[in-house]
């Protein structure tokens, strides 16, 4: 039997822990990293842990304050509160972005108040449901559930308390990421997405597509690639190669001679560009692959799910008689936990912004408890980066939709209900996993669990409010209005406010399912009832150029697209199931070959421009590790090493500037900082040159990241 656990700060010792300053600083840092997480999750469907960067920043800030005030009291518990509060933002962002934008794709509105309300309810539910599980998962299974991110964060806090940790590496990454994003995405000094189409000439002047390579050379994707490493990044890129060099050329080859469009497209295949083939066909193949891979990963985790359920129910029974007085064992009393869960159920039923009925609220709480237990245990075993939260959410949405189908709930309002339930469950599962990591950190350093839990409630609430507004803002900023004409299609469900385009006023209406050739979505309709424009959302939309020639890069939101397909496919049964099944069996083949099907499937679903840059970041880490292995001077490539901290800064800096550029796009002022606005189109031969873009990327991003990551950890302490 192992000796009893001794935390860094003994239970008998009382230090300053939760203060107004610590909670406020945690909320502020949480908002910054939540904003970057929202932007990143909307682009690639991935998030990275913000706990360690927040801990490093907190250590630096409080160390400077205490030195200025002459205070010598240890600050480790206060830094832990800052990290705990701030980490809530990233987990809420993941849960929200993976589900709720699906409403936009099905033609519904997504007001910020709905996002904020569901986020608060789901986030608070995740924290409360984790409280009765803490004793089982964190305390009793301390030796078996390691919680890698939580343990790494505890090491950072302890090292920072003893020797101090400088946040210069994070700030350097943030500054470089922001500068690069401004020069590239704002001023357009070089191409944002350099591309090369590979094709060969055929007789009679015809061409045959071989494939297309694209890379969105951005700091945030590079940072993600470095953090997740070359193996996972390589699987993502392999999926992109499968899409752009196998599936798209095959569809172009076999569809070249067709004289009629194939559903769901409305134009001939031989007239499509590679990206149009992806949007009309490969999109659904990738969706089927991701859905199947998510369900496979969930099925593989079933033994852990069963263990978590047994342990969770057993711990609730045992918690009733727990009456420990140790500071390190104090938690929010169970009576408040149960009362809070009941209050959240009432909020789901009564708040019009949420709109979940009583059966749906009960279903949401049951699924939330199940998946909070599951995600927390899986995080303890394999870490948050491998936690299949999206697979759990697909399962929850799938089961909810099947229940609705069985009872005849197939109306347009029931799709909103199913996705709202899925949103609550996904957010609760994501927050529950992050909470378990934070509680593990606190258990190692000697924090008071109750104070951590209170801090999490503050962090969840503030982040949820901001995330709701940010999603609405990004969607509006990147929305394009495209000329469309669908004769005979009737649009219903008009909004109260009209929209004026080019001096003409139009009614704004919604189609909640495909009608004729018109897909679900928002439309501008003339007084005579004829469709004039399609309002393509900024999140999950596909038309990057609007009627006026304005061009923006859409936010793909891949996980939300999967949720939309699952709900719409079950309740309307109008999806191209042949394409989806092709993708599902691609995932099955990957599993048979022993490959991680989820990573490859996500790469198949994402544009290759995204996975290619992530892979480049992974290659930089591979070079660092290879050089370190061959050198006597070892670089620290762990979770708290300079490379990971610098990459976290790149992600935050690039994402925050991306949000700023989106603000200029919303105001139609983004051309003001573009070089072509001041120097004319004559510079496009340089600014759109792919070789120039790749050279600038290597010089300004890849090389600095490599050099910083090669530093030994001692230079960062």
pLDDT given for residue 383 in this prediction: 60
> What are the residues whose beta carbons fall under 8 Å from the beta carbon of 340, sequence distance 6 or more?
124, 128
The token pair at 378 is: 């899986």
Domain range annotation of the chain = 174-282+608-716, 480-536
434, 87 contact by CB (below 8 A): yes
Regions of the chain short of the pLDDT cut 70: 1-3, 44, 46, 48, 162-167, 204-205, 297-298, 301-325, 378, 381-388, 390-391, 574-575, 630-640, 666-668, 670, 676-677, 680-686, 713-717
pLDDT given for residue 167 in this prediction: 67
pLDDT given for residue 325 in this prediction: 58
Phi/psi at 679 (5° precision): -115, 0
The H-or-E segment that residue 524 falls in is strand 521-525
DSSP-derived 3-state class of residue 506: strand
Phi/psi at 521 (5° precision): 155, -170
693, 205 contact by CB (below 8 A): no
Phi/psi at 41 (5° precision): -65, -35
pLDDT given for residue 331 in this prediction: 84
> What are the residues whose beta carbons fall under 8 Å from the beta carbon of 359, sequence distance 6 or more?
none
Q: Find where tokens 């007084």 sit.
A: 527
Cross-strand bridge partners of residue 521: 511
The token pair at 290 is: 């991701």
pLDDT given for residue 298 in this prediction: 65
Distance from C-alpha of 475 to C-alpha of 467, rounded to nearest angstrom: 12
Q: What is the DSSP letter of 70?
A: T
Q: What is the DSSP letter of 106?
A: T
Distance from C-alpha of 128 to C-alpha of 418, rounded to nearest angstrom: 23
pLDDT given for residue 343 in this prediction: 96
pLDDT given for residue 647 in this prediction: 85
pLDDT given for residue 388 in this prediction: 59
Distance from C-alpha of 491 to C-alpha of 235, rounded to nearest angstrom: 43
Distance from C-alpha of 148 to C-alpha of 457, rounded to nearest angstrom: 23
Own/partner pairs for 20-23, CB < 8 Å, 24+ apart?
Answer: 22/78, 22/79, 22/81, 22/82, 22/85, 22/455, 23/81, 23/85, 23/455, 23/458
pLDDT given for residue 386 in this prediction: 52
The token pair at 590 is: 């990957």
DSSP-derived 3-state class of residue 685: helix
Phi/psi at 230 (5° precision): -70, -30
Phi/psi at 649 (5° precision): -65, -40
pLDDT given for residue 700 in this prediction: 94
Cross-strand bridge partners of residue 201: 207
pLDDT given for residue 378 in this prediction: 67
Distances in Å between the alpha carbon of 648 and those of 20, 170, 463, 703?
26, 7, 19, 16
Cis bond leading into 598, ω under 30°? no
The token pair at 321 is: 């008689």
Cross-strand bridge partners of residue 507: 525
């Amino acid at each position: 039997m192992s000796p009893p656990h001794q935390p860094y700060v003994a239970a008998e010792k009382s230090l300053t822990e939760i203060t107004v300053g610590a909670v406020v600083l945690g909320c502020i840092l949480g908002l910054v990293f939540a904003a970057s997480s929202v932007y990143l999750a909307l682009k690639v469907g991935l998030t990275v842990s913000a706990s360690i960067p927040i801990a490093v920043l907190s250590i630096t800030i409080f160390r400077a304050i205490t030195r200025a005030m002459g205070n010598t009291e240890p600050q480790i518990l206060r830094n832990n509160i800052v990290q705990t509060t701030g980490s809530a933002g990233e987990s809420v962002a993941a849960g929200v972005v993976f589900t709720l934008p699906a409403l936009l794709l099905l033609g519904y509105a997504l007001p910020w108040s709905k996002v904020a309300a569901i986020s608060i309810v789901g986030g608070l539910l995740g924290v409360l449901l984790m409280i009765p599980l803490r004793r089982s998962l964190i305390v009793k299974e301390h030796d078996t559930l390691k919680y890698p991110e939580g343990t790494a964060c505890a090491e950072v806090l302890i090292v920072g308390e003893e020797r101090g940790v400088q946040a210069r590496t994070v700030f350097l990454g943030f500054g470089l990421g922001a500068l690069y994003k401004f020069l590239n995405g704002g001023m357009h000094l070089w191409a944002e997405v350099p591309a090369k189409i590979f094709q060969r000439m055929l007789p009679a002047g015809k061409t045959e597509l071989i494939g297309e390579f694209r890379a969105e050379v951005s700091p945030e994707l590079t940072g993600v690639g470095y953090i997740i490493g070359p193996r996972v990044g390589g699987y993502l890129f392999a999926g992109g190669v499968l899409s752009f060099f196998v599936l798209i050329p095959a569809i172009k080859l076999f569809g070249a001679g067709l004289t009629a469009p194939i559903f769901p497209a409305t134009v001939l295949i031989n007239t499509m560009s590679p990206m149009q083939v992806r949007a009309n066909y490969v999109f659904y193949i990738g969706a089927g692959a991701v859905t199947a891979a998510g369900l496979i990963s969930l099925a593989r985790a079933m033994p852990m799910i069963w263990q978590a359920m047994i342990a969770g129910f057993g711990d609730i029974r045992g918690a009733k008689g727990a009456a420990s007085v140790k500071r390190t064992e104090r938690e929010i009393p169970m009576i408040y936990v149960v009362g809070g869960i009941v209050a959240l159920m009432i909020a789901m039923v009564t708040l019009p912004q949420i709109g979940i009925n009583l059966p749906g609220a009960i279903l949401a709480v049951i699924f939330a408890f199940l998946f909070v237990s599951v995600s927390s245990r899986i995080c303890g075993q394999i870490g948050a980066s491998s936690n299949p939260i999206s697979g759990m959410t697909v399962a929850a949405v799938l089961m909810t939709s099947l229940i609705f189908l069985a009872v005849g709930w197939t109306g347009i309002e029931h799709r909103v209900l199913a996705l709202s339930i899925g949103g609550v469950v996904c957010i609760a599962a994501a927050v529950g996993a992050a909470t378990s990591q934070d509680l593990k950190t606190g258990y190692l350093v000697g924090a008071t669990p109750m104070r951590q839990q209170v801090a999490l409630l503050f962090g969840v609430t503030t982040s949820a409010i901001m995330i709701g507004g940010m999603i609405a803002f990004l969607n509006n900023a990147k929305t394009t209005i495209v000329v469309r004409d669908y004769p005979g299609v009737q649009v219903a469900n008009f909004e109260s406010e009209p929209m004026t385009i080019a001096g003409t006023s139009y009614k704004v209406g919604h189609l909640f399912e495909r009608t004729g050739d018109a897909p679900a979505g928002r439309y501008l309709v003339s007084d005579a009832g004829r469709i004039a424009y399609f309002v393509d959302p900024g999140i999950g939309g596909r038309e990057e150029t609007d009627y006026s020639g304005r061009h923006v890069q859409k936010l793909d939101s891949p996980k939300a697209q999967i949720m939309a397909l699952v709900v719409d496919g079950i309740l309307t049964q109008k999806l191209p199931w042949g394409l989806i099944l092709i993708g599902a069996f691609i995932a099955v083949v990957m599993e048979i070959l022993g490959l991680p099907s989820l990573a490859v499937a996500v790469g198949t679903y994402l544009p290759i421009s995204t996975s290619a840059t992530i892979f480049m970041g992974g290659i930089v880490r591979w070079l660092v590790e290879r050089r370190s292995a061959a050198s006597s001077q070892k670089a620290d490539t762990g979770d708290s090493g300079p490379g990971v901290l610098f990459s976290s800064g790149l992600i935050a800096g690039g994402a925050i500037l991306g949000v700023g550029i989106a603000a200029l796009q919303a105001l139609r002022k983004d051309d003001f900082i573009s070089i072509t606005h001041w120097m004319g189109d004559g510079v496009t031969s340089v600014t759109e040159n792919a070789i120039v873009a790749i050279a600038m990327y290597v010089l300004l991003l890849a090389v600095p990241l490599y050099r910083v990551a090669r530093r030994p950890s001692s230079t960062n302490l």
